[in-house]
Amino acid sequence: MSLSLALITSPENFADEHVLVERMFELGLEYLFVRKSDLPENLLERWTLGINYKWHGKMLPWQGSAHSFEELKKNEGREIIMLGPVFDSISKYGYQSKFSKEELKTGIAEWRASMGDGCKTKLYALGGIDAENISEIAELGFDGAAVLGGVWNYADPVGAFERILSAMP
């Protein structure tokens, strides 16, 4: 099983953000979750117009995330569900993982069993993911990872993204 990689937009707007996102799409970014909580909807739509239209099919609205397996079960029916924080957050100071690796493995296996064989929902890891730990995500049973701080908290976001991509299993 190959791991999918998604990016969550930076909470802050900054110059060249669209250029950086497009470069990451060119390098292999699968999905961009658009999360700009400070922007009203009309400005959010304008923000998305700054990205070349050919990438719009890979841009998804932010859907929120689950922080426990009980919450995960309440989000059934989505194409992608995010669970976290899997590791200590990079972008949110003091926001620590709530799961051990064993809890994640067991919980994900039980969740998949409860969903049945026909389930097409993808489970993405969220929280603290970077080039150092991306290889653990597939081992834990996730279908993909959504990164934020592991890219945007670096002076060279595209370089950070490339390091994550090259470390993926």
**Does residue 76 have a pLDDT over 80?**
no
For 114-153, b/e burial (b = at least 16 CB within 10 A) is eeeeeeebbbbbbbbbbbebbebbbebbbbbbbbbbbbbe
Reading the block at residue 109, the tokens are: 């296996």
Question: Which pTM was predicted?
Answer: 0.93
Q: What is the CATH number of the domain that holds 53?
A: 3.20.20.70
- CB of 50 closer than 8 Å to CB of 61: no
* Confidence band of 1 (pLDDT split at 50, 70, 90): low
Chain center to CA of 86: 11
Q: pLDDT tens, 24-42? A: 999 999 999 999 988 898 8
User: For residue 58, what are the domain limits?
Assistant: 4-167
Residue-wise pLDDT tens digits, 115-137: 887 788 899 999 999 999 999 99
Count of the separate structural domains present in the chain: 1
